[in-house]
């Protein structure tokens, strides 16, 4: 079974994550204290995840399979595992839902519409990301189980070989 290219998904996620990283960077300049720290961390996580998304999109365009691939961000020499990509994406989505809700709930006019637009956009990318993450983590669990089984077989074979080489004492 072949999969359709995931490049459009990665492009949409790149735009979503990039906008979040940029907006949180700007908001970090307007507040102090704990909220500033939250914006700073959220901006960095969204930025790293956005960079990995861009690289995944290019890899998909090249015909590479990115379903389980780690991606190395060349200019900062950081490897982003695929599991981190999914966890970070969900964290960004949760934060964006929270801030979108706050904006919609506590404001009126354009700011309220802005919060509503972020809620809708986040739900769209969530429903696009969740099935991919579910497949990835299921495949990862199967691979771990297979590795454990193979290691157990190798350990049993080594133990049997060691027992066969022991010479009886006379």
* CA distance readout (Å), 103 to 23, 100, 129: 14, 5, 24
In 29-81, where does DSSP find H-type helix? 34-61
pLDDT of 143 reads 80
Confirm whether pTM is higher than 0.85. Answer: no
Strand partners, 73: 78
pLDDT of 67 reads 59
pLDDT in tens, the chain (170 residues): 345 567 788 889 999 999 999 999 999 999 999 989 999 999 999 999 999 888 888 776 665 655 567 777 777 777 788 888 899 999 999 999 999 999 888 988 998 999 999 999 999 999 999 988 888 888 888 888 888 888 888 888 888 877 777 666 65
């Amino acid at each position: 079974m072949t999969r359709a290219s995931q490049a459009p998904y990665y492009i949409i996620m790149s735009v979503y994550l990039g906008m979040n990283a940029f907006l949180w960077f700007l908001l970090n300049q307007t507040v102090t204290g704990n909220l500033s720290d939250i914006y700073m961390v959220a901006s960095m996580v969204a930025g790293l995840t956005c960079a990995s998304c861009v690289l995944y999109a290019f890899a998909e365009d090249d015909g590479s399979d990115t379903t389980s691939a780690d991606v190395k961000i060349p200019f900062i020499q950081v490897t982003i595992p695929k599991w981190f990509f999914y966890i970070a994406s969900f964290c960004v989505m949760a934060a964006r839902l929270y801030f979108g809700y706050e904006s919609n709930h506590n404001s009126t006019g354009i700011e309220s519409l802005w919060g509503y637009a972020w809620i809708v956009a986040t739900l769209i990318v969530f429903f696009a990301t969740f099935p991919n993450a579910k497949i990835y983590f299921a495949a990862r669990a199967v691979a771990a189980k297979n590795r454990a089984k193979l290691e157990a077989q190798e350990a049993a074979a080594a133990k049997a070989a060691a027992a066969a080489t022991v010479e009886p004492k006379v």
